[in-house]
Homo-oligomer: A and B are copies of this chain.
Amino acid sequence: MTQFGKLKGEMREIHAEAVRLTLEDTSISAKDIDAMYVGTWTPDLFLNQLFPAPMLADSLGLNNIPVSRVEDACATGSVAFRQAAMAVMSGLHRLVLVTGVEVMTQRPTRECVKTIAYASDRLWEQPFGITFPSSYALLASRHMHKYGTTPEQLAAVSVKNHRYSAKNPKAQYGEVTLEQVLSSKMVSWPLRLLDCCPISDGAAALVIARAEEAKKYTDTPVYVLGSGQARASLSLHDRPSLTSIPSTKQAAETAYRMAGVEAGDVDVAEVHDCFTIAEILAVEDLGFFKKGEGGKAVEEGSTEIGGKIPVNVSGGLLGKGHPIGATGVAQMVEIFEQLRGESGSRQVPGAEIGLTHNVGGTGGVVTVHIFSVKGG
């Protein structure tokens, strides 16, 4: 992955940098790639650039291979990954490049927040002025009401993730204190500025091959044990409950079953913390903690390195940044490096099974993927 943050350079340059870093890690050259899936959310609205797949391919020196763009809001990157994996499983392709990229900071933040709100329903949500901070604020306030989750517990998510992002040289932000989070500007009660992920630029890339061929290209491949994807209603008002994301539960169930593992087997997880409440919902819905106990678990350190299940030791979306299309792929890059023991001062010791969890909207689409260095 590239640096995340406010970057200089064109979308195609940022994207090419991620691919360069990825291929350098292998014996693969661009000419060996036989299909490319690009996850990018809305270069249309951010950059006036539709049809990004061939434009991005042009700058990579690829052959005249199939290239496709995938879009599923903030789950875009991981859905592109899943498509790429199915392309390999189908037998039509052998060596598939999957990339995620977004360039957002060229627009003012206010305009970005409005654009992001286009991922809500144009008939039933947008006319009433809802934005994603306010959608997640509804989820947070309901969780607080039902389970006693506190603003301090929300803030603890942000403090933890920023503490880890300070150890990640590619992250957008460094440390913040509990006091800084709790005194940051109120965005949509109970979510303050430091409960919200930033606007970011960045890209990430991976190459997928059949498991039995992976060692041709690298001595230390990482294997995909399970892939789950599920949907829920686009709008929160169509859900039976606001204290759980049902598509997270279902995607996790599918991925765990395919992988033959349980929540308790996972050693390290990257979950979708676009807002602090999102991480609390995730660690509950993924089965790491009982429903209602996520906030307490974070506050007690159970999601830190050395705790029950280290979560978002990359810094997460909150600390590392959230270039939308890149996020799902970057989560996998973190798990890839963790499982290979390459994460330096934020390494989870002995991590063998890793999980990624990527959410589009408030759960309209969710993916869960499970990885291991063993499995070839």
Contact = CB atoms under 8 A, between A and B. Distances in A.
Assign chain A's interface to a size class.
Answer: 35 or more
Contacts of A55: 121, 234, 364
Q: Is the interface of A mostly helix, strand, loop or mixed?
A: mixed
A55 B227 CA distance: 23
A331 B70 CA distance: 21
A92 B87 CA distance: 11
Contacts of A64: 230-232, 246-247, 250
Contact of A231 (B66, B73, B85, B238): B66
A51 interface: yes
A99 to B, nearest CB: 14
A258 to B, nearest CB: 9
Contact of A54 (B44, B57, B91, B364): B364
A360 interface: yes
Contacts of A123: 10
Given A68-B83, A83-B86, A87-B90, 19 more contacts: A44-B44, A44-B45, A48-B122, A51-B71, A51-B364, A53-B72, A54-B231, A54-B234, A55-B121, A62-B231, A64-B230, A64-B231, A64-B232, A64-B247, A64-B250, A66-B229, A68-B365, A69-B71, A89-B90
Interface of A: 10, 41-42, 44-45, 47-51, 53-55, 57-58, 62, 64-73, 79, 82-83, 85-87, 89-92, 115, 118-123, 126, 227, 229-235, 238, 246-247, 250, 360-361, 364-365
